[in-house]
Amino acid sequence: MTVSQPSAVEVGLMAGRAGYVLRANDRGRFTVASPTLYPHMWSWDAGFVALGIATVSVPRALDELRTLLTGQWATGMIPHILFHSPSDYFPGPERWRTQVAAARPLEVLTSGICQPPIHVIALSRILHDARRRGGTDQQLAEDFVRETFDQWLAWHQYLATARDPYSYGLVEIHHGWESGMDDSPRWDVPYANVHPQPDMPPFVRADLAHVADPSQRPSDAEYARYLWLLEQKVRVRYDDAAYRSTGDFVVGDVLVSALLAAASDLLADMGEELGIGGGSSGGVEQSRAIARRFRTGVLRSVDPDTGLARDLDLRTGNWLEVESAAGFAPLLCGGDEAVTRRQRDLLLGPRWCGHSRLRWPVVPSVSPASADFRERTYWRGPQWPVLNWLMAWALNRSGEQEAANQLRLAGLSQLIDCDFAEYYEPVTGETLGSRDQSWTAAIALDFLAARRPAQRRPVRWLTSELPRITPAQRAAHQAAQHQRAAGHRPAHGHGPATRPQPQQRPG
């Protein structure tokens, strides 16, 4: 499918609507992941949210990351949820019981596991925007990097030590939720070895109340495994070494490892530019060493036959052979031009973005050609705008600007209805999960800021126009878009996108 730049009207509507979503989800010093289903601050959501907000307000973007750091543990870990206020979200702080951990922060309740280290990638993007604007924005951003450099370094060192004690070069995760791809088929084999015990506390699921079709969600048996891993962490007081000896799920995650390598290089770049962490034992050299080790680990994981990177089950020592988007981890961290070129061709080819069944040629979470592909189930096939952003960012960073722009334009076309859904059905294009998702709105703003693949321009937050973007106008615009799209859909296409009931993420 050929996609083109959105029109000036579409840009204005999307920018205004995205700004409206982020304002509605703003809680002063942080942004909730969505209006009602996810009423707290999620770690890697916050990174994407911050880079989107930076297109309109660098100070507010920095506040997002500053608030996230208030939840950092003494170990350096940044937890995957910060609970700033009571809610009925499950599992909430009463299930996590992180008060048993000596390293927990005292100022805010948190979960006891982490998520992918996207944050320094976002910070680098924010610093880029701030320097482009100059003046106060540049000063604030550079001061923030100086102020928080050691905290980001501690976060990366936690992953490089507590989560890679044997220097495999792969970050060890203790729960599928830590990958960000909660129920991906990447984890089917290790989850089969998770055996909940009868003494696990009972639970009542909250997620099924938000879906019309429960088959889109994990089964009760699967959910019990998720909560049993949480319980195992509680019982060892969130001690990583103790969990490693007793826990059921220990996997080397290639996507988390690639993000750590890329983020560590960027942290070192910022340190060098600002004169922070110099010397042979300083933060810059430590960051470079982390980047080298995990880039090597990711490249070692590539299957020579498929060209995709593989996760490693550290309980069994077996590679996990799954055609998920995480297989493109080498694109994120680089290190081998031949691998990068092959991965680019795979990503844009007929098994992935170029697959004939896809409504939009953006990154699916699982290859549509794979037996594991399930187009309506969470991370088992649907398209996630944040994943598409990551791959576009990686291609642009590796010098593949035209390929990056191709993904950016296709991503904007997918978001043109301004629903800003959590994820999208890849064949019909319909919205899935929650609507008005903060990180999706943020991705739209960042994509709009890049009119050319190697340039970024400011996106005006259309506050004066927000009251005029009424539901009726928005519905009329969507109807026109669907009618226009129907005129050039392939024969296998389906009707206009519908809006099924939103569903809650497992963790």
Catalytic residues: 182, 422
Taking the C-alpha atoms of residue 155 and residue 62, their distance in angstroms, rounded to an integer, is 17
**What span, in angstroms and rounded, lies between the C-alpha atoms of 82 and 98?**
12
Write out the DSSP string of 434-452.
Answer: -SS-HHHHHHHHHHHH-SS
H or E element in which residue 432 lies: strand 431-432
Number of H helices, E strands in the chain: 17, 9
What are the respective helix, strand and coil percentages of the chain, to the nearest 5?
50, 5, 45
d(CA 347, CA 329): 11
Sheet arrangement for strand 311-313: 171-173, 251-253, 311-313, 318-320
Helix (H, G, I), strand (E, B) or coil at 271: helix
The residue among 272, 298, 275, 301 whose CA lies nearest residue 287 is 272
CA dihedral 292, 295, 298, 302 (to 10 degrees): -110
Residues 6+ apart with CB under 8 A from 336: 299, 330
Task: Specify the 3-state DSSP secondary structure of 39.
Answer: coil
d(CA 382, CA 24): 26
Q: Are the C-beta atoms of 157 and 164 separated by less than 8 Å?
A: no
Tokens of 74: 């003494």
Element containing residue 270 per DSSP (H, E): helix 254-274
The two three-digit tokens of residue 23, written as one number: 């304002």
Angle (nearest 5°) at CA 240 between 189 and 229:
40
CB neighbour burial string for 254-291, b if at least 16 within 10 angstroms, e if fewer: bbbbbbbbbbbbbbbbbbeeeebbeeeeebbebbbebb
Residue 105: closest CA among 81, 76, 74, 77: 74
Residues contacting residue 323 through CB under 8 Å, at least 6 positions apart: 306, 308, 351, 366, 367, 369, 370, 372
From CA 411, how far away is CA 10, in angstroms rounded? 14
Write the CB contacts of 45 (distance below 8 Å, at least 6 apart in sequence). Answer: 31, 33, 38, 438, 439
